[in-house]
Amino acid sequence: MSAAAATRHRFEPTALPEVVLVHAPLYADARGFFVETWQAERFAAAGIAARFVQDNHSRSVRRTLRGLHYQVRHAQGKLVRPIRGRIYDVAVDLRRSSPRFGRWVGVTLSDEGGEALWVPPGFAHGFLALSETADVHYKCTDVYWPEHERVLRWDDPALAIAWPLAPGEEPLLAPRDAAGQALAGAETYA
């Protein structure tokens, strides 16, 4: 295998084709590991020509559910990657013009695999921490505008998201996430 081939990312469309699971090559040895998490030309060649303007890092304890967040103006695309622990990452299509409006996709990401999830503008995003602690880094295509942020209800029956919680187990939620809006009454995109 050539050095160029060894450094290639693999881009895997999900059930919502605009949401892409990115597999980055991870090189591990006795010292630890190295992974290239972003390379503009390679991502652009795969259809992700994002210009990132803000990076975020969150730490969550097990059962913390963050989301489902989106901005009605200044919509953000996000490249989400756990840098410690495991998460169940979810994207919901909120584009009314999309044939997949209201559908969701969820994937498990961990710090061991080198994967990231590309969630383009027009989608709500959230995740559930599956490990005792999860540090998540995400690159955003627009800055945070609190006046434009909206929260979609994580347990909306119309979405029926299959969060990996044990029967009777409740997630830890911020007050704004607990008060999220159901899809039927939510502001969405055209």
Q: Which residues pair with 26 in a beta bridge?
A: 35
Write down the pTM of the prediction. 0.93
CA 57, distance to chain mean position in Å, is: 13
35, HSE (Cβ side, Cα atoms, 13 Å): 19
Catalytic member of 125, 137, 138, 148 = 138
Structural tokens at position 111: 């710090």
Identify the sign of the CA torsion 93, 96, 101, 102: positive
For the question of residue 138 being annotated catalytic, the response is: yes
Q: How many domains is the chain built from?
A: 1
Identify the sign of the CA torsion 82, 98, 150, 185: negative
Query: Could you read off the pLDDT of 7-58 as tens digits, one per residue?
Result: 689 999 999 999 999 999 888 899 998 989 999 999 999 999 999 999 999 9
Taking a C-beta distance cutoff of 8 angstroms, is the pair 69, 153 a contact? no
Residue 63 maps to a domain? yes
Taking a C-beta distance cutoff of 8 angstroms, is the pair 151, 68 a contact? yes
Catalytic member of 9, 57, 69, 74 = 69
Neighbours of 171 (CB within 10 A): 18
Residue 180 maps to a domain? yes
CATH of the domain at 155: 2.60.120.10
Residue 131 maps to a domain? yes
Query: Could you read off the pLDDT of 134-158 as tens digits, one per residue?
Result: 999 999 999 999 999 999 999 999 9
Residue 190 maps to a domain? no
Residue 120 maps to a domain? yes
